[in-house]
Structure 1
């Protein structure tokens, strides 16, 4: 019999033994501020705070009182009894006036009553530990908060609603069924291959691989929505890098002059193209120089190039790619996507163009007039592998790694045939890798890393 992968122990609702509290609204002033509390049996906590024991899931007007009975604030009190709450424990929400001082006073009162300050992401972590969310859904909470584009927000909502998890669980079900067929034959070595063929085990493997590829492609698209594409503008001085950054961003982010070496440090801008964040970085002109400050800027430029997804090499359209530009191309890391832009076509009496060549893709444009800028945007999306669609998952790098490891083990499984014991072991490892996405199998240090990135109060 094939067992499910070992799961992270999840305590029963309320067994965390401590009550936690935090301000759940953003810092600063606002019309309304919220202090959130989660723990076990919080009605007595309510009574000590407000003199009331409110009905479940109904807004109750209440005074929030200090220890000496004076009123800290007047607002709305909500009580969500566990397990039917976000965390699976009793949850209180104190909706008061959104000034930072009154919020801190309410939080301090909650701490006086026995709560402790919540760690970053602890409310969502408790929701996961109490079975209210799986790990992919819990991460989608933070992704929705951090979404920088409309497309990213919509994809995060789909993951929060469990769409990504359902696809992963469907793959897990296929893996488990295939493992059951394979391991059922291990006790009958004389009939194992015939039995597997009769049970369509190899057809099941093909369908599993195909579905896994589809999920990986959708997740890879979602990774672009979440993290965006890091684009570095490189080239010799005075070829128009700063002008191109300003044109792409639609703002005067960088100083533009006719003097070479004007940009001495990195200048960054973020823009959206079809919902994909493009993080564009203007670098110092790459040349030999005796200027100490400019040398530091050039060193930082090479460091940024090493971390980039795409390097855009700008050259002057009037002179084309010269020896100095080829030297820059030769120094670029091999793994980087590269794009050559012939800028200043307005001065070279040329029109905008785009074509593939030995050094990657070449685009001719004018950063000054804007001609050819749309060509550049579309080429950047093509290099990133973006395909406009409405059903992507807002995936994280760890999700892609888990899917890639799963694919590798399934590929290895096929290569192990006809050694079915090794075939079965590769399927088991594939199942374990895939299960880490939803948290059916996760190390404690992975949980700490994930939830430690959340904001306090969530």
Structure 2
């Protein structure tokens, strides 16, 4: 279920109309499960569910009761009074035993108790309580200024982190490290905009605000700051997204063996029979915390077998969408006329199907089977050639290092934070607008109106990162990808 886009009238700081409830822990059995409620004035509902008033921000061990006063379960109840809560609204958390049936009973009891008539008011205790949509608790935290948009995304990234490095960087982003960098850039940009606008507004004063305030120097420093943040964001996005690496080559070049060697597990079937691999086998591996999505594909050749032909078509489809291609060559067949002719055909096809920015890494396999331990034929003898044995593991470390290099990873960097591709694109947009601004500022007769517009567009791009400004449909897309209860 996706989050409905916010209406134009729902700005940041507004409270959502309906109270919401959801099971906040993962499906299945566990030691503890949580039912979470958020909305206005939850103290009465909490008292009805627990049979006692709850002191805010104090864990209370209590029984959770049904409508007749019977006990559903016993556990901890936590009540957070607005605005001192995750969402900025009143929040109630019921921590019970983590059985699916128990949690469903508690969820149903919350909805039932909310609809009961309160004797003191003659009205439902909590009207319009409904099930939460995916990401709606965090969405409310954003709308109520408890988190900015980059921090809200970091919540999902922390949950989804597949490596220790990704989890640590997501925690940094959630703590506001990335947002603080963006705010620093925004303040510098606002200061520069102020100078340009002042020059536009008061031309009769004959005071060159831009020159006196060193606007060119401020713009240069701002560009350097954006470049530094973009470098860190690229690395963070790489840790989050990884790259897609496709192993391609003729049948029996050792593609499946290489996938197994990189993964450290027998994932793909390996036999001496050509055409064993008929479909794509994918595995995500980690090198220095960077996820690489490696795909083993069917051997590339002309085939009369219909099933194999479909596998080869799928192989080319994945190759065309790869971030990098490992073109695997068989050392033991180099020099054979038919083999070399097919290698040339695959090389031409790769050059036609791949974009100019997609690297092709040539790898010569079966080093262990080459008879001369010192001399290698042709290009495999080059200084930077990647020669390995998927069977023995010789040369695999060099391949891993080359893959990191191709991915753009730079180890040992400090001050990184987990970023998303949209953050990288926004920062690139800021770079482009500032480049235009610099060209205008350096012109013999600067157009200050155009300069002011370029700076405004740059600030809009920065604001989109933290959500100070952004399209309503962007918010809907982001929060719809969260899990329910978060």
Is TM (by shorter chain) over 0.5? yes
Q: CA deviation digits over 1:399-433, x for unaligned, max 9?
A: 01110111111111122232221111111100001
Structure 1 residue matching 2:28: 3-state secondary structure: coil
Which residue of 388, 396, 401 corresponds with 1:373? 396
Deviation at 1:8, TM superposition (A): 7.3
The answer (yes or no) to whether the contact 2:199–2:208 under 8 Å persists in 1 is no
| Corresponding residue for residue 44 of structure 1 | 44
CA distance in 2, matches of 1:106, 1:192: 72
Residues 155 and 391 in structure 1, CA contact (< 8 A), matched pair in contact too: no
Which residue in the other structure is 1:456 paired with?
484
SS at 2:240 equivalent:
helix
Whole-Å separation in 1 of the counterparts to 2:27 and 2:340: 52
More displaced stretch, 180-189 vs 24-33: 180-189
Alignment partner, residue 430 of structure 1: 458
Tell me how far 1:295 sits from its aligned partner: 1.1
Report how far residue 192 of structure 1 moved: 7.7
Q: 1:224 to 1:8 in 2, by over 3 A?
A: farther
Q: CA deviation at 1:319?
A: 3.9
Question: Is the 8 Å Cα contact of residues 33 and 96 (structure 1) preserved in structure 2?
Answer: yes
Q: Choose 1 or 2 for highest CA Rg.
A: 2
Write out per-residue CA displacement over residues 41-75 of structure 1, whole angstroms, 9 at most, x where no aligned residue: 11110122121111011111111111222211111
- Identify the residue that residue 3 of structure 1 maps to in structure 2: none
Gaps in structure 2 of 5+ consecutive residues: 1-7, 115-128
Alignment coverage as a number of residue pairs: 449
Q: 1:142 aligns with which of 124, 140, 156?
A: 156
1:250-329 alignment to 2 at 5 Å? 250-320=264-334, 322-329=340-347
Counterpart CA distance in 2 for 1:167 and 1:8 is 27
Matched, 1:104 2:104: yes
Deviations 1:121-156 (A, max 9, x none): 000000000000000000000000000000000000
Looking at structure 1, the residues matched to 274 and 214 of structure 2 have their Cα atoms a distance apart, in angstroms, of: 68
Q: Any idea what the Cα deviations from partners look like across 1:91-141, whole Å, max 9, x if unmatched? A: 111011111111111111112233311100000000000000000000000
Map of 1:40-439 to 2, 5 A cutoff?
40-114=40-114, 115-187=129-201, 194-320=208-334, 322-332=340-350, 333-334=354-355, 335-348=357-370, 349-350=372-373, 362-388=385-411, 389-417=413-441, 418-439=446-467
Change over 3 Å in CA distance of 1:316–1:419 after alignment to 2: same
Q: Secondary structure at the match of 1:113?
A: helix
Alpha-carbon contact 1:8-1:441 (below 8 Å) kept: no
CA distance in 2, matches of 1:432, 1:192: 30
TM-fit CA distance, 1:326:
3.1
User: Equivalents in 2 of 1:319, 1:183: separation in Å?
Assistant: 70
Q: Displacement, 1:170?
A: 0.4
TM-score by length of 1: 0.94
Which residue is equivalent to 1:441? Answer: 469
Indicate conservation of the 8 Å contact 1:7/1:441, yes or no: no
Deviations 1:244-263, CA, capped at 9 Å, x for gaps: 00000000000000011000
Please state how far the C-alpha of 1:322 moved relative to its aligned partner. Answer: 3.0
Counterparts of 1:399 and 1:298, CA distance in 2: 36
Segments of structure 1 that go 5 or more residues without pairing to the other structure are: 1-5
C-alpha deviation, 1:437, in angstroms: 0.2
**Aligned partners of 2:406 and 2:110: how far apart in 1?**
52
| 1:26 corresponding residue in structure 2 | 26
Tell me the alpha carbon deviations over residues 192-218 of structure 1, each in whole angstroms, 9 at most, x when there is no partner: 895422211001111111110000000
Q: CA RMSD in A?
A: 2.3
Asked if the contact 2:247/2:326 (under 8 Å) is kept, the reply is: yes
Shift of 1:190: 8.2
Q: Secondary structure at the match of 2:64?
A: strand
Task: Tell me the distance in 1 between the aligned counterparts of 2:456 and 2:301.
Answer: 54
